[in-house]
Structure 1
Amino acid sequence: MKWGLWAHVFWYVVANVAQVIVWWLVTPDIFFWPLWSILGWGIGLIAHIWAVRVALRPRTA
């Protein structure tokens, strides 16, 4: 579970940094369009983090 989360975080950072670099090199004077990917994928990443934390939480009876 944790490896899947770390892979998700790694690819989130790599993909979004790449998009920001492309934006900066090609269209810096236009709206910051990587924002939509950062926010949308970020919501999914937060849900993934939450799910892993809940699954790994010790159960008390």
Structure 2
Amino acid sequence: MTLVVRHSDGEWQLACGEHDHPADCGDFEVVGLNHLTDRQQNLAQIGDLEPGWLAEWEQGEWTRCRHDD
């Protein structure tokens, strides 16, 4: 995952950051967070992401900014 959004309602959205998905999001899947953190341990670094913020993995670190959803 290279893009993580914590929406203002508290919901999480994790994405690979690529733009090659179909417009209907037909290839998106719901998965348990523990499955992702087992495979990508750097996700634990953003477990405290506040609602209304996003984090993007760039050049080996997470950068955070407000997300306007």
State the TM-score, normalized to the length of structure 1. Answer: 0.23
Larger RCO of the pair (alpha carbons < 8 Å, separation 6+): 1
Structure 1 or 2: larger strand share? 2
Structure 1 or 2: larger helix share? 1
